[in-house]
């Protein structure tokens, strides 16, 4: 539609021009009598960034289930309040001092409950923020929106402000904010700067957890023990990953996080089958021939690693765009490489075949050491 576009005639202003009023009286600037002001540090897009809560919970309506739990919760709360009030009045009736102590304890409990509640809520919100960030980042990369990318990076900087190891990266990134960089490039840049050290650490965490699970399963005397151990390791793994990427989950948000991870695993499980599950099963089969326990250990380790990778997908505030997504083969070659001595560790991560070879090598040497141990 070739309508007349909104246009203003060109002009040039001398910097000491009198008629022009100061641009952008945003803050009380020292040179506010100066007619023209250079824009500093991309102030032009200093948007008030608020977290959009509407995107978080798309379905708002009360379902019967929710109503039931709410009602039940209310009832329980009433019962508890009633019981506690009864208890305190009872205490007062018996002894004045005892009553005061009871009251103080009750108040203390209520206070800490409130604090815990607030923290949990904040934790949940933080988790939602991270998920929201990731979605927006993916959209920004597609849409190449400059303003949105800048807002996003500011939020990321805020999210990561408590991570001392990112101080330098944050400073670099803040410097880049003032430059003219397109939206998609900006997000990728942020990912490269901020996520590289975190990804490395996350990889280490996962492979350590996987290794522990493998060893414990292979050595544990009872199935119950390793079941508990696997569960505990997975829990602590997700928690530590959460702290690593800035989610800092509390109890509730950890529960929610784990639910999301499990859902994510269920959804992407099919996808992952094609690339590495066959290879895993093959490896497992071979090892199981050597020793049933050992095979179980390896399988549990693999599952833990897979769980950790799924958790990264959920916890990481940016999607994998500029950096490669860590793969299972990648991690396992690290784990098993450390089992079988250092030399295989340098295998190029992208070649799945090589990783599989390493895996088998590592397993073999593991098997050797095991058999020695068992025979002795």
Partner 1 sequence: MPDLIEQIRLATQALAEFGVHLFNPTIRLGVTGLSRAGKTVFITALVHGLVRGGRFPVFEALATGRIARAYLAPQPDDAVSRFDYESHINALVDKRSWPTSTRQISELRVVIDYQSLSEYQRTLTLDIVDYPGEWLLDLPLLTKSYEKWASESLRLSRQRQRADFAKDWHSYLSTLNPEGMEDEQQALTATRLFTEYLRACRDNNYAISLLPPGRFLMPGDLANTPALTFAPLELSGEGPPPAGSLWAMMRRRYESYKSVVVRPFFRDHFVRLDRQIVLVDALAAINAGPEALLDLEQALGQVLDCFQTGRKTILSALLRPRIDRLLLAAAKADQLHHTSHDRLETILKRVTEHAMARAEVAGAQVDVVALAAIRATREATVRRGRQELPCVLGVPIAGETMAGEIFDGETEVAIFPGDLPNDPDDLLRPKNRSRGSISSPQSPDFRFLRVRPPLLEFTEKGGPALPHIRLDRALQFLIGDRLV
Other CB atoms closer than 10 Å to residue 25's CB: what's the count? Answer: 10
Of 29, 31, 44, 78, the one binding partner 1 by CB under 8 A: 44
Per the structure block, which two tokens stand in for 90? 């009872």
Q: How many residues bind partner 1 (CB under 8 A)?
A: 41
CB 151 within 8 A of CB 283: no
Q: Does 27 bind partner 1 (CB under 8 A)?
A: no
Q: Does 1 bind partner 1 (CB under 8 A)?
A: yes
What's the rounded Cα separation, in Å, for the pair 226 and 232? 10
Nearer to partner 1, 145 or 226 (CB): 145
Q: Does 179 bind partner 1 (CB under 8 A)?
A: yes
Nearer to partner 1, 196 or 201 (CB): 196
Other CB atoms closer than 10 Å to residue 358's CB: what's the count? Answer: 23
**Contact letters (x/-) for partner 1, 131-150, by CB under 8 A?**
---------------x----
DSSP classification of residue 295: H
Q: Does 346 bind partner 1 (CB under 8 A)?
A: yes
Q: Does 350 bind partner 1 (CB under 8 A)?
A: yes
Of 52, 135, 182, 368, the one binding partner 1 by CB under 8 A: 182
Integer angstrom CA distances of residue 110 from 90, 115, 162, 178, 250: 19, 9, 30, 48, 19
Other CB atoms closer than 10 Å to residue 376's CB: what's the count? Answer: 5
Q: Does 192 bind partner 1 (CB under 8 A)?
A: yes
Q: Does 170 bind partner 1 (CB under 8 A)?
A: no
Question: CB-based burial of residue 20 (10 Å sphere; 0-12 exposed, 13-18 middle, 19+ buried)?
Answer: middle
Q: Does 23 bind partner 1 (CB under 8 A)?
A: yes
Q: Does 11 bind partner 1 (CB under 8 A)?
A: yes
The radius of gyration computed from the CA coordinates of the chain, to the nearest angstrom, equals 28
What's the rounded Cα separation, in Å, for the pair 118 and 236? 22
Of 299, 322, 328, 331, the one binding partner 1 by CB under 8 A: 322
What's the rounded Cα separation, in Å, for the pair 249 and 88? 35
**Contact letters (x/-) for partner 1, 64-103, by CB under 8 A?**
----------------------------------------
Q: Does 7 bind partner 1 (CB under 8 A)?
A: yes
What's the rounded Cα separation, in Å, for the pair 68 and 205? 40
| Cβ at position 211, least distance to partner 1 in Å | 23
Binding site for partner 1 (CB under 8 A): 1-2, 4-15, 20-24, 35-39, 44, 146, 172, 176, 179-182, 185, 188-189, 192, 196, 322, 346, 348, 350
């Amino acid at each position: 539609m070739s309508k007349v576009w909104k246009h203003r005639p060109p002009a040039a202003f001398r910097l000491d021009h009198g008629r022009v009023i100061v641009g952008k009286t945003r803050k009380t600037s020292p040179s506010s009598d100066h007619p023209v002001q250079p824009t500093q540090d991309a102030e032009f897009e200093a948007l008030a960034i608020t977290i959009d809560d509407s995107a978080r919970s798309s379905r708002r309506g009360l379902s019967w289930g929710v109503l039931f739990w709410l009602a039940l919760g209310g009832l329980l709360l009433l019962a508890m309040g009633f019981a506690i009030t009864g208890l305190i009045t009872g205490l007062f009736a018996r002894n004045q001092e005892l009553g005061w102590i009871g009251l103080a304890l009750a108040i203390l409990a209520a206070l800490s409950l409130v604090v815990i509640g607030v923290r949990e809520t904040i934790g949940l919100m933080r988790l939602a923020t991270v998920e929201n960030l990731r979605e927006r980042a993916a959209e920004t990369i597609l849409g190449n929106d400059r303003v949105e990318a800048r807002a996003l990076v500011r939020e990321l900087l805020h999210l990561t402000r408590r991570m001392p190891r990112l101080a330098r990266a944050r400073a670099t990134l803040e410097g880049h904010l003032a430059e003219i960089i397109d939206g998609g490039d900006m997000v990728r840049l942020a990912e490269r700067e901020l996520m590289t050290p975190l990804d490395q650490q996350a990889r280490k965490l996962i492979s350590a957890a996987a290794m522990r699970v493998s060893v414990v399963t292979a050595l544990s005397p009872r199935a119950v023990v390793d079941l508990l151990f696997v569960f505990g390791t997975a829990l602590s793994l997700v928690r530590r990953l959460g702290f690593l990427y800035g989610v800092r989950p509390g109890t509730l948000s950890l529960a929610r996080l784990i639910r999301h991870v499990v859902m994510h695993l269920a959804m992407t499980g099919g996808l992952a089958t094609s690339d590495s599950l066959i290879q895993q099963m093959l490896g497992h089969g071979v090892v199981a021939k050597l020793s049933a326990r050992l095979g179980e250990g390896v399988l549990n380790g693999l599952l833990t690693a897979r769980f950790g990778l799924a958790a990264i997908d959920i916890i990481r505030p940016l999607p994998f765009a500029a950096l490669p997504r860590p793969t299972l083969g990648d991690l396992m070659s690290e784990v098993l490489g450390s089992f079988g001595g250092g030399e295989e560790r340098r295998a190029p991560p992208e070649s799945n075949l090589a990783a599989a070879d390493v895996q088998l090598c590592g397993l073999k040497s593991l098997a050797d050491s095991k058999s020695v141990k068992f025979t002795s």
